[in-house]
Amino acid sequence: MQVVLTILAGAAAGSGLFGMGAGESVWFGAMVALSSTMVVVKTLAAGGVTSTLASRVMIGILVVQDLSVIPMLIVLPQLQTPGAMLPNLAQSIALAAVSLALVVLLGTRLLPRLLRRILAWGSQELFLMAVVATGVGVGYAAHAVGFSFALGAFVAGIILSKSEFSHQALSDLAPLRDIFGLIFFVTIGMLFDPAYVLQHPGSIALAVILIP
């Protein structure tokens, strides 16, 4: 309900207050509906309150928002071609269903056996490389069939999280996670355009006030 209602409210605000088109306003609503899981979790961890009831509820909401990214990445790009939206949407959903079913099948049948065999060899470095290759490989496979690389990597993360080796994979990947998190925040900061802020101070201030 939070995601859907926020998208509708954001789309109405984008269309009525900021003069956006129909497609742009829906994208704006989808952007407003999502929170940064990494930022929130880092903030909660820094305050030492991750184990409280409010924090657990907040993290649960963030997980639902993360899962909602999957249908968003399938549906929203089709808004760019309104005339052929329904056929393209049906094709995307069918392709996504087949791709995700194949990924889940490989992830639940093949991946655990592969990781178990690698652990039996006693090579921690090879295990780390296998986990990273899984994320990159599934991401590239999703990109190859027409979806975003991020969607494939997200699905790979879900598969790994359901594996019996999830805790070991997380502990091994923690340094890489922090490094890529740093790169993520730096690249997001590099997208900041001071000229755009100077040209649209009123719209930006209004959006910042309305989003909370």
Query: So what's the pLDDT on residue 95?
Result: 72
Q: What is the C-alpha to C-alpha distance for residues 26 and 34, in angstroms, rounded to an integer?
A: 13
Query: So what's the pLDDT on residue 81?
Result: 67
Q: What is the pLDDT of residues 13-32, one digit of tens each?
A: 888 888 888 888 888 888 88
Q: What is the C-alpha to C-alpha distance for residues 202 and 196, in angstroms, rounded to an integer?
A: 11
Confirm if 164 and 112 have CB atoms less than 8 A apart. Answer: yes
Calculate the alpha carbon distances from 210 to 88, 103, 188 in Å: 33, 39, 22
pTM of the model: 0.63
Question: What is the rounded average pLDDT of the residues 117-127?
Answer: 81
Query: So what's the pLDDT on residue 85?
Result: 63
pLDDT band at 84 (very low <50, low <70, confident <90, very high): low
Residue 187 above 80 pLDDT? Answer: yes
Question: What is the rounded average pLDDT of the residues 190-201?
Answer: 87
Closest C-alpha to 137, from 120, 109, 157: 157
Q: What is the C-alpha to C-alpha distance for residues 111 and 116, in angstroms, rounded to an integer?
A: 8
